[in-house]
Structure 1
Amino acid sequence: MPLEALIFDVDGTLAETEELHRRAFNETFAKEGLDWNWSRNDYRRLLQTTGGKKRIAHHMRDLSLASDAIDIPALHRAKTDRYVRLMGDGGLQLRPGIAGLIATACSAGLTVAIATTTSRPNVDALCYACFGAPADSLFPVIACGDEVAAKKPAPDVYELALKRLHIAPENALAFEDSSNGLRSADAAGLACIVTPSVYTGDDDFTGAECVVPDVTHLGGIEALAPLLPTPRTD
């Protein structure tokens, strides 16, 4: 089956964003008068729960707080606004090889897409900060976590991306940095390349087609097609 598309996760895969997310959470907590401060170890543990609102809810359960003690959606919106502002201040860079891989893929006639748990404003902010362009000018297909019923490791967001691409999973490769992302891609029938990030180096990547420090280790577009899975017969 021919390779037709590359589908990228965002946070940790396109860029090392998680420290900026952690800073945005902590600054938002302080501004809202909450005495919460997530350390790196706290955040590494919380990243096992996908989605910012769910991480806040998880933290509240850890503190034995009632689920309605805080307006979680409002708190998360404030965090997203702060994250977008922080990203606009600069300092965030794409991971090694990402810009070149995307440019080469497009030149080769492949479609590049996004399948992410994060929200669309975060995707747009990253693309403006790192590419200097709106997300939909770079990625014709974008599927975000707030568009599906279940976040990663469920396959929903990858299935949505494949539906919008109008291709079978055997014609695409996924790029992830975490075990939750890998499990999501695998459940959608996609072969997955993993580039562990700062917070995910200790994850279990069993089932990945390959695990490399970054995409510069892949050997170019011509090395990707052999990684495609065998078409399913069920």
Structure 2
Amino acid sequence: MTWTMLDHPAWDLASAPPARAARTSSGTWLLTAPEYTVTLVAGGGSPPTVDVYEASRLDDSLLPPGLAQALRSLGHVQRVRTADLWEALATAIVRTVIQAKQARRMHRAFRDAVGQPVGAQALTPTAKQVLALDEEEFTALGMAFKRAPLQAAAHAYLTHQARWAQLPPDVLIKELQTVPGIGPWTAGAAVADHTGNFAFYPYADLAVRTWAKQADPATTWPADERSFAATWRLLGGPHLSVLTVLTLAWGDHHARSDQGSKHR
């Protein structure tokens, strides 16, 4: 069995099947996720990369039994990597300090109002489109508090994109944090989304802690972020990325399954 993560807010979960427009280095694509697979419906240029994560790579001797069982129940997990660094960065800014459902609604409104249509979906607005928006337009979208960080990031991206593209991920995370309004969570989430390596994700955040506890309630998990992060690094070992992304995938699966059961 293969499970597709649809955690990125560009996925339209109301579409049947779920669909997403995505930009790559040489074109745009419309993706769908029927059943448990990703389908490239239409597009041009290089297609998006689909990363596959397998629980078999984890060391069960390091993991609490409940967590190991929960993650293995997913089978193979695949996730569409966000090829466009600007899209990853803008999305991370939208997601910062708000709940996932609110971020998904805001991201959809942002795309629909400003982004380029691709079929029935729309792309994340470009950096130039973001800079062209005025304060009233942000306010009308319910994004007044996102205007400053998005426009600062858009200006920085257009200035530094060529150099940023050459930086190793750990250096890029530090560089992104020099942009006003971008902190460690936003930078780490953007780089993980862009590279597919979730060792760079802020893995002590509320989402990972919440899903770890729900996947394995029998384990006593550290309550504070610093202690949780230290424990998580030990559990992941050399496969910290796989542990983190599979835990987020378990949460995505759990949340969508619960949502589906409410409508049956």
Same fold by TM-score greater than 0.5: no
TM-score, with normalisation over the residues of structure 1?
Answer: 0.29
